Structure 1
């Protein structure tokens, strides 16, 4: 065994969180295929119940596609204030066990329970207890993965979903990773998996056979990461205070925009949203990025870095409009977005986490 950690890490992932909250609060939706999001032709599925997933409905899927897959699909509007409220209840439960809680989103988090407030020796028992309390407090189910590091715990949490958990002990890590299909490795997406298939890499065992030099040659900077994770090496700590690398918002429109006046109106609304989020997080940034997506789904992005930090909607908007006028745009704009990065957090870039804040209608 090679440099395995002796930490006890839990990854807790709520089961179909947004959809489950809706089914809990509206009993008439229980047992039915539902999607949280807009049901119009421009809508996107934000979350799907397990009943809808059986038909192939997934988050980020266009609503039109989801309806074709599941004609009886019920669309419900999102209630993010409610999801945040429930998420805070769950976070409070986590903090009863450890202060080392790293939220990834409203519905999942890492916990380091190597040393915990209740002095429980077993991380498996802690995960059971947390899931029991979440259900008693919120009426919702959660799944969990338990292992020696964040990478393996994340994979493990998917194994017995929904409402289950899986522990991978230090002795089991290497055999588990060797047998794992490469597409199930967290962080290896469809494109990378296809590239690995071309190299004869289908499982962790195949990946482990490749040298560091080979992986770096074929997968660049990620090669060393792949070399390490298949050997159970992933020392990233659970970080209670995740630092944002960027903060932004984007909006998809019910109808295409073909007027510069309308574009500026929508950019104003987006800039106002970003100003609120910057104030809430007490950050400012120097780099403004404008994103424009057209009806043919082609996307333009353009950025400008200022000499000073900004956080007000007027300065964000002025920079975004300047970028829009520099870029020029074609007709039929379906999405606009603004992102502020290069934030005043004084943290190395590797410690940042990208945050994309979306709001749809």
Structure 2
């Protein structure tokens, strides 16, 4: 029997949407080229920046997600590791503290600046040249475990996961390495791989190459440590910068993840990018800067507005991609999407800001 929906992309966005469609009553097939969770989902920091909303709509969606997360693991039958964790954004000599504070002012809960001693109380590994740090409440979720939880919960409800690569162009019936697939509709959730399938239809999506470093170590971070300069967000809004280094060091189950370099255009040389990451980390976390690790690289999709694309491309193909903060946007928007395609008027109205046509 042909599925009602084929969801392309088994990362967080696709797995969450497939689960919501299946539990709403639509027979769903989830496709991904990798059998295990990979790509941007597996390489993500997993942060939940619920404090960073800059519009009432973002604040509403972020609040809905934060209300869901405490029980989402139990709902899915998975240990997703959800936990509160502080965020520190260290400042260095030469940083304009007033300008940085103005950059945070529009956010729902702007971070507060701390003196160096107070910052080190929160994260003892902070040394180096810091002059202080902006600090705020933050949260974390294990995105690999969450995504696998969505996949398995969808299958338990009667959906199907299949490992296959979709061949362009994006049309029905769908051509894949596992054969031809006929379905009622397609949802494209392929993130950085969307451009290959969409071709000229990929506007307004843009793509950046991301590089990070996974380090196994017993030196445990007590906080997320990220750059206060928000360079990648500026890249996404302008589309003009060729390379940014957003210093980051975040805890993982096995150690820390250091990153990230983001590049428009070609992916660039991994060795040079890892060196740039190490130099940025050395300024504030010198004991972590030179540890050996595994290089992580992937392509990420984004939009210049910072808002994802949740909309029909035409009558049978829908977009659910371009998420800048997927951990917070995806859960409530996947729920709205599933209800909207089944005809719920309120859910349609809740998606018009993302390009969904209004209810007629």
Sort the TM-score into its range (normalised by shorter chain): under 0.3
With structure 2 as the length reference, what TM-score do the two structures score?
A: 0.26
With structure 1 as the length reference, what TM-score do the two structures score?
A: 0.26
Higher-RCO chain (CA-CA 8 Å, sequence separation at least 6): 2
